[in-house]
Structure 1
């Protein structure tokens, strides 16, 4: 379901994206090509001067919440995965090719390209450098703690890339089903 916000801004969604009928998208939201938005996701840019941009090839999985506060922006760059039940709260910048794991919270932060925030982690008020891994369950709220983060391993890089590929295939599959239904 798509709604305009109180400022009368409506979502702008690529015709090449697939959005579940149970997802809710409100306001000043831009969604790129080959984006998969799963069931019960909520993407909300309804506060004054807020916006959300989701780049090409991203996936927003089941029960993800993305919200931008007044006068803030959430940017999720291309080929990034937001896994089941995570919360992305603006202001927030997530780089290209990132992964945010199940139940994680990212708020008022920057996550550099090719980084992973693993399951049930919290990242707030810091900058995660490019190519780093925030481990499962870790809470990072002070900048000096990022010095100890490990680099993304080849196994984790392949994992996050496989999630993107799987979800782009879902977009293609669901779009093909839509075409079949329309032709019947």
Structure 2
């Protein structure tokens, strides 16, 4: 008898999955109903919450207890090969936008972006490709340039724009453009750390999907 069968027979049931993937509620702020668009090769972990006009592209990993709530600010876009780790929160302010490719978004997250455990990304904001957002950090009302590294506990806000490969030190508060302009470039050690985080998390969508069955519907859940 396998360990899984032993545990199920002796103590079960195990692995009762819980999700919410669905429409945003109709309110005066956001009266139009939208259902998330999630690529079949993305993976949503148990206890994920996704509501409203949210696009999640292929091979993106969404860890447990992530909240992606496009019920006020909307829409959200999350590119391919990105990862939102445990406890990440995405939310946005009503009628506040960033632009990308002549389209308006409350939150735009590019490809190969890592949002580490407990980080908050609050719209309006745009996060370009290959960015690392550190543990318990906050990005709000900002544009984060490609390849930037935001360290643990840092805050980037107040309409600032980080140039590509900017390094935000641990606990820093980048709330003026002047502070953003003098940031150093990302050290090689932190670039390597970000690459390794990406490498590990890119394996999770397909690996975890084995536990959820081979057939997955367009919402990203196992059928």
TM-score, normalization by structure 2: 0.78
Aligned residue in 2 for 1:149: 183
CA distance in 1, matches of 2:80, 2:215: 25
- 1:44 corresponds, among 48, 66, 69, to 69
Per-residue deviation at 1:154?
A: 2.0
In structure 2, C-alpha distance between the alignment counterparts of 1:145 and 1:152, rounded to whole Å? 15
Alignment of 1:12-161 (within 5 A): 12-47=37-72, 50-71=74-95, 72=97, 73-124=106-157, 125-161=159-195
| C-alpha distance in structure 2 between counterparts of 1:24 and 1:179, whole Å | 21
- Partners of 1:105 and 1:118 in 2: how far apart? 10
What RMSD in Å do the two structures reach over aligned CA positions? 1.5
For structure 1, the 5+ residue unaligned runs are none
SS of alignment partner, residue 144 of structure 1: helix
Q: Distance in 1 between the 2:86 and 2:46 partners?
A: 12
Structure 2: any 5+ residue segments left out of the alignment? 1-19, 27-31, 98-105, 217-223
Contact 2:162-2:181 at 8 Å conserved across structures:
no
The 8 Å contact of residues 163 and 181 in structure 2, kept in 1 or not, is answered as: no
Q: Shift of residue 28 of structure 1?
A: 0.5
Match of 2:203 in 1: 169
**Cα distance per residue 1:85-123 (max 9 Å; x no partner):** 110000000010000001101001000000011100000
Deviation at 1:180, TM superposition (A): 6.5
Query: Alignment length, in residue pairs?
Result: 181
The structure whose Rg is larger is 2
- C-alpha distance in structure 1 between counterparts of 2:213 and 2:203, whole Å: 15
Give the alignment's TM-score, normalised by structure 1: 0.94
Name the one with the larger strand percent: 1
